[in-house]
Structure 1
Amino acid sequence: MPGENLTRDEARTRKSLIQTHTYAVALDLTQGPDVFRSTTTVRFSAEAGSSTFIDALTARVHSITLNGSQISTSAADGTRIALDGLLDENELIVDVDMRYTNTGEGLHRFVDPVDGEVYLYSQFEVPDSRRVFAVFEQPDLKATFQFTVTAPSAWQVVSNSPTPQAVPLSDTVARWEFTPTATISSYITAIIAGPYESVSSELTSSDGRTIPLGVFARKSLFEHLDAEYIFEKTRQGFAFYEDKFGRAYPFEKYDQLFVPEFNAGAMENAGAVTFLESYVFRSKVTDAIRERRVVTILHELAHMWFGDLVTMKWWNDLWLNESFAEWASTIATAQATEWTEAWTTFQAMEKSWAYKQDQLPSTHPVVATINDLEDVQVNFDGITYAKGGSVLKQLVAWVGEEAFFAGVSAYFAKHEYSNTELKDLLSELEVTSGRDLSDWSQKWLETAGVNTLYPDVTVDSEGTISAFAIRQTAPADYPTLRPHRLALGFYNLDNGRLVRTDRFELDIDGESTPVTELVGRTRPDLILINDDDLAYAKIRLDEASLRVAMKHLSTIENPLARALVWGSAWDATRDAETAPSDYVDLVLGNIAAETESTTLRTTLSQLVLAAQQYVARDRQTSTLARVADELWGLAQQAEPGSDAQFQFVKFFAAAASAPAHLDTIAALREGDTKLNGLEIDTDLEWELLVALAAGDRASVADIDAALERDSTASGQQFAAQARASRPSSADKSAAWSLIIDDDSLPNTLVAYTALGFRRAQHAAVLTDFVDRYFNVLVDIWNTRSYKIAEHVAVGLYPSSLANAHLRDATTAWLSTHSEPAALRRLVVENLAGVERALAAQERDAR
């Protein structure tokens, strides 16, 4: 029987044979630290006489009963249970032991190092509810789910339905019997259990119902939880979505739980959303992170309608969930909260992610080809989220915001509690907008690649525009030229600042679109294609505008326009069209005045990458030293206590390499050097220690001493990163062995150790790991869970080398490994990063 990798064809066949109705799942969480008892009763209809299978990743099978008859436990192979001789209506009871995980998949078990308390949470997307109960694991087999949980009586137990009063079974054990859920897909069911602390509130829905609200965190982290702010953003999101969607919140309550060792940002479990604990701020964070948390809160809330109420039939329409939530959360953040520059953040962060992903060899249409579960596992990417969200922004500009929301409202009304495909949404938008979207859909959603837009401007001797056109190109492998709704901005210097003096909105299509209304106008100082960022396309500045931008970027008043220029400069650098050294000059000459935290964070990350890997190899050391010098200077000049000061210090630590830099970091950490307004709190102290460890200025004993002072889960993660960041070959080998030779390391410690492993002040120390990486890769993929295998495939790839040796070794491996396809895709993406770095180095050396 096939293994864990369910194919689309198998899912279609199973859907044609059966329809699920109800699940009753009883979980006993008192069986010890390794396994729990899971008893599932599922009722479903079927084609009489047919055979199929149910998914269950079991540790031990106690019994299987189909329609009152025991069937042999040999029908279970550890991943699936064969079901033969089905009736019109069926009842299946599966009584098994399941394993806890420490990988963030299935039912994750965490022991708090502070107090020894045990915390559990489920993570089921994509195919991991089968790690907790027997289930027909595909999104179009919806049902109701009724959970009964036996657990320590001191715990809280949360699921999709409101938490019932616990029934004591003994002095220390109790049972929680939840009411059935609405009809939903299995991957958005949830169980969260442990001695969580919580705060409760409520709101009134648009249909008059009282919706209970809860915010949860571990005991040892609870003091840092700003629950009232989270409730405030939640209420703002509820009001915005219920108004715009024309549909009241579809579930009974709304809990938000911050859980340990979480792999993603959050998960949209119906009525029981889980978030990573980094969103509980125990130390100062950048404004970029604070804003990102708001966007994430609103992203998951949008999923309650788009994804949970209405769900895609198969994972090729995953974008219907993620792209919509990405777009909706950004417009909600901009219009309903204090973070009014959310679209600037979207341009700086999501758009840059999308453009990067869309230029990889692994790029794919927004509506991707998903043949099996391994395909979808690697498809949570910049296309599915960021490009899809960008394309939806373009669609809103194309059909109009009012028509778009009207179509979405009709879509929810028609398809609630069911499954859909792309055509179902587009048909509603065609009705409300009056536009035929078939050609638009084909070009935007069913083809891959990103276009580049150029201004072709001719000016006479008087400075008057005599001809103007927007030229569009496409990469050779993905030659689609698309229609764009966009704006052109004219910017002129006024008292030392670049101010927009004219804006023109228009449709363009094809290779060249003349803009005749600009003829006869005086040429401005800067011409900005795609002003206001309506379109999804890379943009270039004409030569005159580029010269002005290099000198005056920091004076552009509009933060979104600044982000567009920053993005254009970075795209040209990544594409090896302009010298990385020029990009370094541009950033260092203009970044001090940047006001938007995410733009600042993104640009500084790109600055450090350019210095470390993109500039000519013989200039990398000196360039990185210059970057660190100037970042420290900017930190000293920044407003005391500001976000900019904080970020300049953090990126100074990331770029530090010279002895003088390490002296400064050591002095900062010890308090011998101070910056007015800067507190060296717990997390910043760790970041400084990681920098010292990477520079061979902090020993393992120093790291252990820091961990003793901060013996939390976060402290363990930072300590793992610091140890792996130490520069010797022995230190790198120790980090490698922790991950490769021991499969018991939890997911977060694998990720932090890999992060430290890749940090190498002298990248040559990683040379010996190139062959070691490729020698273990397939075995790790075949023997570890997906998330751990992904951490290894990406996290232990020695990308810091960025040299021909790594390129050639990667190419050689790919030439002999056509499978597994999902692993090959990750390696292809690794190679693309190296090849881009080599092209940039060659351009910089000219």
Structure 2
Amino acid sequence: MPGTNLTRAEAAERAEVVSEQSYRVELDLTENPETFRARTTVAFTAEPGTSTFIDAITASVESVTLNGTALDPAAVSDGERIRLPELAAQNELLVESTMYYMNTGEGLHRFVDPVDGEVYLYSQFEVADTRRMFPVFEQPDLKATFQFSVTAPAQWAVVSNQATPEPVAVSEGVARWDFSPTPVMSCYVTALIAGPYLSTTDSLVSSDGRTVELGLFARRSLFEHMDAEEMFRITKQGFEFYESQFGIPYPFEKYDQLFVPQFNAGAMENAGAVTFVESYIFRSKPAQALVERRAITVLHELAHMWFGDLVTMRWWNDLWLNESFAEYMSTLACAQNTEYTNAWTTFVAGEKSWGYAQDQLPTTHPIKAEIPDLEAVLVNFDGITYAKGASVLKQLVAWVGQEQFMAGLNRYFGKHAWSNTELSDLMVELEAASGRDLTDWSARWLETAGVNTLVPRVEADDDGVITSFRIEQLGQDGHPTLRPHRVAVGFYDHREDTGRLTRTFRVELDVDGEFTDVPQLVGRERPDLVLLNDDDLGYAKIRLDECSLATAMNHLGDFEESLPRSLVWAAAWDSVHDGVSPASDYVRLVLANVGHETDSTAVQVQLRQLDTALDRYLAPEHAQQVREDAAVSLWRLVEESEAGSDHQWQFFRAFLRRACTDAQIERVAGFSRGEGVPEGLELDTDTRWAVLIALVAAGRKGADDIAAALREDNTETGAIAAATASAAIPTPEAKADTWRLVVEQGALPNSQQQAAIAGFFRGHDDALVAPYADRYFQEVTGVWRERTHELAQQIAVGLFPRHATQDTVDAAQDFLDHLDPSHSGLRRLVLERQDAARRAVRAQQVDAAAPAQRGADGTEPGR
């Protein structure tokens, strides 16, 4: 049998055979730390005389009984699937099996808290890991009811999709929780979270008059840091907004939100039992960007209760229907019904830039992607599915109207509640509600790939009066589709009396085809800055003309509003990323203007992109000087920031990453002694780790210092930081140890492996990691074949050779030329990393060819 990689064809065939299911799942979590027992009873109908299989990734199968007949487990089970022959019209399957606990963030994950030795469990099933906890027909369109019975230590909290029942004593210190059956749902949104979690509760009244109980859960060692008031407030605001917009009450019995350890994603939309990554519990001061991102994530998962859980895609090619919708709705809810009214600026800075980058990769795909099998969908949780899809939905809402869009959703939810749908089902309801034909829109926006670029073509006379204004629309190599766009063109001038960049004129129009004339702008004086896609109405990259770019270089921080500034930031980065403008200019732009940025996410994104430019895009002949100057500028930004501000915190962390000269490293060393710390900055536990990692990477601290820090902070967060620090030790022995742990042995749990990979490339001497470029291509296929998806993807992406040269591009191509075609997921990841290397090579060439290279502080290199 094909094993774990279920194909769409297999799923469709099985859906023709199997229907009307219910599960009773009895789990015993008391036996040992490696495995647990599952007794699963499945009732289902089938076409008489047909055969099928049920998915079950097991340690062992003790018995299989189908319709009262015992089947030989050795004959029907291979550890991944159980064959079910000669089905009847009505069937009952009973499987007794032993299942593995996982430490990869997949299936039923088991974690031991180093603080108190307590065991914590949680499930993570998307895309197809329910089968790691109990046998199941693992596909989204075979919805069923699920009734869980859990035997566990009596002092534990046990949480699932339904309200937690009173436990029944089984023996000394052991109890059983018998949950009521769930509504009909897809298996991947079922959930089990168990352990000595602490909780706090609240409630709200739903639009249909029900009282919905709210719960917040976290490990004992983190519970004191949880911001329950903020979490409950955002949750209630989300309930209020969604119920009013959708016209459908919250569909489940209760709503718990649980922070769980070693989580692979931001959160997961388990019906009524949402899990979150623990980094959303802030034990130290966070960037405001992270606080806002948490609010968006809370609202994103809540939106899934309707779009994804109540109504679910039939197969994973419509994954975007879940994720794009939730991303759009969470931003809309944030902007219209919370204190984070600047959410669309944050969206431009963070999500949309992700979408643009993903859409330009050689592996880009239509929003509505064809997904042949599970391996393909596992790498499809990307910037197209989330960010581009949400951007395009925003355009659609602007076109049909928010009221009409929500009316269409109301009809959609009402017609398809508790069932599965495809894109056409949604389009029918939106067309009916809006009166618009969406056929052409859907074809060009949802069924084609690539991002268009809009370029202003401006001509003016000697007096600066515009004589011609055209917008040129460019396609993308391999994806030439030109699309209709509703955009605004804004004119901005720098006012000497206020020192601000102020919008002086705006025109809104439809752009379609290769050229669009804008006669409304002819006869007007050419402004200091022309901004295409002003107000961010469309999904398209924009270019700045030469005059506008010069204005941006000098006055980007002077915009009166944050949204146009974010659009110009994005245009500047796109120009560097596309190999049009030199990276040195971008570095100067960021360092000269980021101190004036008011949006925390925009600051965070610019600093992240600054790191990319400094590490990969600079011409080698002056790269080191620009990096040194950049660190000088970052420290100046720290000193100029308001004490205790978000800016100060972000610039300080950036300085720790970029410090590279002896003097800069000595300044960091002073921080470790409590010397020279700027007023307003607290050297809390996480910040002390950041200081230590910087010193380790520079060779100033070592293994003994890491061990001492871990003794002081013997927590999971401390273990993650220690993994990064240990991998960053700049010796051949430390790099070899990290490679052995991660690649050869797979000895680290998921969160620590990810941290070690980050530390592996942290340092000032590329020669230490250069020998591992060839080893990557020699060993990554074996990793892909033998590890679970999450661990394998971390390695395939994170350990791709860091040195961006043509040799790296060529080595990747040779690898791809010889890669087994069956490894489609690995092929995609390597193609994407190869593209990043190719872009870096091109960017270095553009930077080298720039006529007047200067350092980050504006001086000539070396001066």
Tell me, what secondary structure is at the counterpart of 1:528? strand
Counterpart selection for 1:698 from 678, 696, 701: 701
Structure 1, unpaired ranges of 5+: none
Residue 319 of structure 1 is matched in structure 2 by: 320
Cα displacement (A) at 1:60: 1.0
SS, match of residue 83 in structure 2: strand
Measured in 2, the distance between the counterparts of 1:72 and 1:445 equals 48
CA contact (8 A) 1:143 1:183 kept: yes
Q: Which moved more, 1:667-676 or 1:231-240?
A: 667-676
CA deviation after TM superposition for structure 1 residue 738, in Å: 1.1
TM-score normalised to structure 2 length: 0.97
Contact 2:741 2:747 in 1 (8 A): no
Q: Distance in 1 between matches of 2:347 and 2:607?
A: 16
For 2:488, the equivalent position in structure 1 comes to: 487
Matched residue SS, 2:155: coil
Post-superposition Cα deviations, 1:558-601, rounded to whole Å, max 9, x if no partner, equal 10100000000000001110111111111111111111100001
In structure 2, the partner of 1:566 is: 569
| Residue of structure 2 equivalent to 1:292 | 293
Tell me whether 1:633 sits opposite 2:636 in the alignment: yes
- Does 2:36 correspond to 1:44? no
Is residue 12 of structure 1 aligned with residue 12 of structure 2? yes
- What is the aligned partner in structure 1 of residue 210 from structure 2? 209
Q: Does 1:512 align with 2:515?
A: yes
TM-superposition CA deviations, 1:649-693 (whole Å, max 9, x none): 000111111111111111122211121111011101101111111
Amino acid at match of 1:118: V
One-letter amino acid of the counterpart of residue 614, structure 1: Y
- 2:855 corresponds to which residue? none
TM-score (normalised: structure 1): 0.99
Is the contact made by 1:50 and 1:85 (CA closer than 8 Å) also made in structure 2?
yes
Amino acid at match of 1:406: A
- The separation in 2 between residues aligned to 1:513 and 1:818, in whole angstroms, is 46
The one-letter code of the counterpart of 2:594 is I
Distance 1:686 1:798 in 2: 26
Partner of 2:365: 364
Tell me the distance in 2 between the aligned counterparts of 1:211 and 1:500. 47
Amino acid at match of 1:441: S
Structural mapping, 1:218-237, within 5 Å: 218-237=219-238
Alignment partners' CA distance in 1, 2:96 and 2:594: 61
Residue 815 of structure 2 aligns with which residue? 813
CA distance in 2: counterparts of 1:465 and 1:806, whole angstroms = 47
Aligned residue identity for 2:797: V
Q: Which residue number corresponds to residue 710 of structure 1?
A: 713
- CA offsets, 1:134-184, max 9 Å, x none? 100000000111100000000000000000000011120000000011110
Instruction: State the shift of 1:464 in Å.
Output: 2.5
Q: Cα offset for 1:798?
A: 2.4
What secondary structure is seen at the aligned counterpart in 2 of 1:125? coil
Deviation, structure 1 residue 394: 1.2
Indicate the SS of the match to 2:171: coil
Indicate the residue corresponding to 1:724 in structure 2. Answer: 727
- The one-letter code of the counterpart of 1:19 is S
Secondary structure of the corresponding residue to residue 676 of structure 2: coil
The corresponding residue for 1:414 is: 415
Instruction: Name the residue aligned to 2:658.
Output: 655
Q: Does 1:83 align with 2:103?
A: no
Q: Would you say the 8 A contact 1:399–1:435 is kept in 2?
A: yes
1:395 Cα deviation after fit: 1.1
**Aligned partners of 1:608 and 1:624 also within 8 Å:** no
Q: 1:612 maps to which residue?
A: 615
* Kept after mapping to 1: 8 A contact 2:53/2:83: yes
Cα offset for 1:810?
A: 1.3
RMSD of equivalent CA atoms:
1.0
Aligned ranges 1:745-784 → 2 under 5 Å: 745-784=748-787
Paired with 1:529 and 1:368, the residues of 2 have a C-alpha distance of: 29
State how far apart, in whole Å, the 2-side matches of 1:567 and 1:229 are: 31
Q: Which residue of 2 aligns with 1:836?
A: 839
TM-fit CA distance, 1:462: 3.2
2:242 partner letter: Y
Structure 1 window deviating more from structure 2 (755-764 vs 76-85): it is 755-764
Counterpart residue type for residue 174 of structure 1: A
**Equivalent residue for 2:471?**
470
For the 8 Å contact 1:613–1:620, the answer to whether it is kept is no
Distance 2:592 2:143 in 1: 56
Residue 424 of structure 2 is matched in structure 1 by 423
Question: What displacement does 1:463 show?
Answer: 2.7
Deviations 1:28-50 (A, max 9, x none): 10111011111111111111100
Residues 261-272 of structure 1: pairs in structure 2 closer than 5 A = 261-272=262-273
Name the counterpart of 2:505.
502
In the alignment, structure 1 residue 187 sits paired with structure 2 residue 195: no
1:751 & 1:817 partners in 2: Cα distance? 25
Are 2:592 and 1:589 aligned? yes
1:238-275 alpha-carbon deviations (Å, 9 max, x no partner): 00000011111000000000000000000000000000
Tell me the residue number matched to 1:532. Answer: 535
* Aligned residue-pair number: 845
Determine what percentage of the aligned residue pairs are the same residue: 57
The 3-state SS of whatever aligns with 2:221 is helix
Q: Deviations for 1:437-471, whole angstroms, at most 9, x for unmatched residues?
A: 11111111111100000112222333332222211
Q: Which amino acid aligns with 2:353?
A: S
The correspondence for 1:521, drawn from 521, 524, 528, is: 524
1:109–1:120 Cα contact (<8 Å) kept: yes
Alpha-carbon deviation of 1:337? 0.9
Q: Which amino acid in the other structure matches residue 205 of structure 1?
A: S
| Counterpart residue type for residue 209 of structure 1 | R
1:433 matched to 2:438? The reply is no
Structure 2 gaps of 5+ residues are 850-863
The 2-side partners of 1:290 and 1:20 are apart by 43
Shift of 1:549: 1.2
For residue 232 of structure 2, give the secondary structure of its aligned residue in structure 1.
Answer: helix
Tell which deviates more after alignment, 184-193 or 731-740: 731-740
| 1:719-778 CA-partner distances (Å, limit 9, x unpaired) | 010011122222111111111232332001110000101223122221100111111111
Distance 2:333 2:280 in 1: 19
Match of 1:826 in 2: 829
- Distance (Å, rounded) in 2 between the aligned partners of 1:660 and 1:485: 52
How far apart in 1 are the matches of 2:590 and 2:426?
Answer: 42
Which SS does the other structure have where 1:19 is aligned? strand
Structure 1 counterpart of 2:804, which letter? Answer: A
Are residue 542 (structure 1) and residue 545 (structure 2) matched? yes
Match of 2:860 in 1: none
Query: Is the 2:698–2:764 Cα contact (8 Å) retained in structure 1?
Result: yes
Q: Secondary structure at the match of 1:274?
A: strand
Amino acid of the structure 1 residue aligned with 2:693: V
Residues 401-455 of structure 1: CA deviation (Å, up to 9, x unaligned):
1111111111111111000101111111111111111111111111110000011
For 1:670 and 1:249, the matched residues in 2 are separated by: 53
Matched residues in 1 for 2:471 and 2:494: separation? 23
How far apart are the structure 1 equivalents of 2:388 and 2:621?
Answer: 36
**Retained in 2: the 8 A contact 1:426–1:437?**
yes
What is the CA–CA distance in structure 1 between the aligned matches of 2:62 and 2:197, rounded to whole Å?
A: 32
Q: Provide the C-alpha distance between the structure 2 equivalents of 1:403 and 1:507, rounded to a whole number of angstroms.
A: 21
User: SS at the partner of 1:650?
Assistant: helix
Kindly indicate whether the alpha-carbon contact (under 8 Å) linking 2:454 and 2:540 is maintained by their aligned counterparts in 1.
yes
Distance 1:821 1:523 in 2: 51
Distance 2:275 2:246 in 1: 23
Shift in Å, 1:511: 0.5
What do the CA deviations read for 1:322-372 (whole angstroms, capped 9, x no partner)?
Answer: 000010000111111111111111101111111111111111111111000
- Over residues 33-88 of structure 1, what are the superposed CA-to-partner deviations in whole Å (9 max), with x where a residue is unaligned? 01111111111111110000000001111111111111111201100010111111
What displacement does 1:505 show?
1.8
After TM superposition, give the deviation of residue 818 of structure 1 in Å. Answer: 4.2
State how far apart, in whole Å, the 1-side matches of 2:40 and 2:623 are: 59
